[in-house]
Structure 1
Amino acid sequence: MYSFATYLKKNKQVGAVTGINNAYVMVEGIPEVKVNELVSFENRAIGLAAQLLPETVRVMHLSGPVPALGTQATLTRELMTVKVDSQVLGALLDGLGRVVQSGGGSEEQLPAASLPIDGRPLPLNRRRMVTQALETGVAIVDILVPLARGQRELVIGDRKTGKTEFVRQTMLSHMFNGGICVYGGIARRAADVNTLTTYFQSKGLLNHLVRVVSMATDTTAACYLAPYTAMAVAEYFRDLGREVVIVLDDMTLHAKYCRELALLARQPPDVTLILGIFFTRIRGLWNEPACLIKVPLLVCPLPIRSWVICRVISRPT
């Protein structure tokens, strides 16, 4: 991105911060801003326009120091995108798509691209029928409840019941067959990420894996956007005709951050503020894998009690 002065000179529209509410910053004076547009602050902070109000704009703080009251802000007329190329293979990205740890990349030179994190799904006439099986490497699953390429799968169960091991085995089997895996970690511990990295590094398959991880210490915005960033990376390889498995771990925590952001935005306490968010707020995210023709599996480890609560609370009245 360019500097604040460059955007100000280009757009000639300046606003000011009138309020601060944890993850959100209230900005007044930029009436031409659009939802999901990036906002630049004079203290080098970057925000995302999340909600348009009659007099102000509620901006989600993404990176940089938190703007103080009176800090100037201007438009960028740019949407939030993720830059992807062959070097992301084996790399570790944060929830905003920035490279934290570089990887070995791919010997094959892939074209660079900047993809929006909130891309539109493919139309129905461009989707294929689900016809090919996906080998998970777990014999009992492949025989009794086989999964298919292009299918979305929710892995549910109580703690310590083998969800993580099943997901890891599925990723391992897919990468052994030459596929690519995108791991989207939401509010993970550093120890968990290191364990995952060491495991696939010992198998010599780290260059078939893209890790998009928001740490538990990251901002609320980074944790909220992590699965969308991971989905954009998966779409990049899908469009290149590669076989991709995307894993989101776990969506319970994503629902928690969605609820936190909704409460900070003073939204009414309805179904979108509880774990029923799986069936309301992020249904757009769930629709994405259906259009990922080459993405065979969406795996979301989720405690079964939370999932049952979702089903009960989100049931139509």
Structure 2
Amino acid sequence: MNYRTIDFPKNSLFLVTGGAGFIGSNLCGAILSMGHRVRVLDNLSTGYEKNIAGFRTHPKFELIEGDIRDFAACARVCTGADYVLHQAAAVSVPESIERPLAYTETNVMGTVNMMQAAAEAHVKKFVYASSSAVYGDDLTMPKREDTVGRRLSVYAVTKYVAEEYAVQYTTHYGLDCYGMRYFNVYGRRQDPNGAYAAVVPKFVEALLRDMPPTVNGDGEQSRDFVYVEDVVQANLLACAAPHEAAGEAYNIASGKQSSLNEMYAVLKRLLGKDIAPVYGPERAGDIRHSGADIAKAREKLGYTPAYDFERGVAEAIAWYRENL
């Protein structure tokens, strides 16, 4: 199903937390293009003003600078909202191991603040970002939602705890919650800079600058790379999903996995580069293999990814050529 054909009530108000971030800003653009209103809550700690600069003069766009750790701010922005797309989070696996208190405050208490505020405001649907990190050391492939292992990082724990709260808010507080277990999302506006940046933009930036990227480990670890436009699709489909699908988490992925070495070979070919990578140590807390079974999201949400890796990364490369 094409999310742009979803018949939301005219002029619906979507609250996007973390709307100045990578995924959040893509959600904002899609919603505005559908003719609905967007309110963003962001403290601009990891999001960027430049990501939403093109929306600031739009009559249906509103930015409120605030923090999900502040319940009063959460309550204020939920007032009048029809749908909440909760993307705000601290997202680095290695950093979460270094800063467990900060990650717990943001990802657990921040999410519970948002759920409580949304429930009190009688929001129709609460769609939140979870992560494939919740699968931990489970070796089952592909990953299915009902089988998880022991979490390998504080980040993974915070996302799993958020899923448990979502069950409680759906069951006891009248808030339909839908968890998006993102796999390796990539695409336009994803930041290639910083020690904890995602692998696709880091590799693309290095190749565009004729520099060898660093691969953590031997490069044979596998990932399910999903283009951001398919992630947008999943979030908006969840906003239109029935109550019977609430209180659940869903794999949001392409349904295909590639090793980092295979992914790098595609990037080299598309960019016309022949630069060997540098292999470094593995990162603490990383999962070795990650691939998704997306049957549940397809069945209950109507999710069907439209982008394979080559198509998606070609669009991403075009964006990076213009914006780096």
TM-score of the aligned structures, taking structure 2 as reference length: 0.30
TM-score of the aligned structures, taking structure 1 as reference length: 0.30
Greater fraction strand: 1
Greater fraction helix: 2
